[in-house]
Amino acid sequence: MKLLLQTLIFSFLAFSITSCDKDDDMGGATVCAKAVTFMVDGVEVCATGTYTLGNGTSTAVTLVGDNGEGLTIIVLGAGAQPFAIPTGNAGYTSADGAAYTSTSGGLFTVTDNAETMDATFSFDAASSSGATVSITAGVMTDLPKR
């Protein structure tokens, strides 16, 4: 009887672990297998992209989200350090095509940029009509160099 009970418990655990989808709700957190995640007004975006170094004087990041969102960041300088995002040097394009440009106060912190880049970022942006979005909790892990 004990062996039967152990077998049933093991079977239930094995079924529970293997039956989860990668998109299943994990207590409010989503699973993103891409190099970049960020929040737009509290909604997570999963993205891919690349970065370039401009002769050691600038760093440019280009990203595309799962729903066609676009995000670009250009900072003056290169290397593993924090950078202020100047007004107008970052942009976000929503899935419906609305374009937003960064306002003051953004931060782009590079922790590694050899063959791949690890960084965090956040900035606020506004459209020409005055609508605003807040880009927060941006995390890049192993973003490839272009």
HSE-CB of 81 using CA atoms within 13 angstroms: 9
Q: What DSSP letter does each residue of 80-121 carry, written as one string?
A: SSEEEE-TTSEEEE-TT--EEEE-TTEEEEEEEESSEEEEEE
The pLDDT value recorded for residue 24 is 46
Q: How many angstroms separate the CA atoms of 78 and 57, rounded? A: 6
Q: Digits of tens for pLDDT over the chain (146 positions)?
A: 444 334 334 443 333 333 344 444 445 555 788 889 999 999 999 999 999 988 878 999 999 999 999 999 999 988 899 999 999 999 999 999 999 999 988 999 999 988 899 999 999 999 999 999 999 999 999 999 98
Q: How many angstroms separate the CA atoms of 119 and 105, rounded? A: 17
CB 120 within 8 A of CB 110: no
The pLDDT value recorded for residue 30 is 57
Q: What DSSP letter does each residue of the chain carry, written as one string?
A: -HHHHHHHHHHHHHHHHHT--TTS-BTTB----SSEEEEETTEEEEEEEEEEE-TTSEEEEEEEETTS-EEEEEEE--SSSEEEE-TTSEEEE-TT--EEEE-TTEEEEEEEESSEEEEEEEEEEE-TTS-EEEEEEEEEEEEEB-
Nearest to 75 by CA among 36, 40, 106: 106
The pLDDT value recorded for residue 28 is 53
Cα end-to-end span (Å), the chain: 61
The pLDDT value recorded for residue 113 is 84
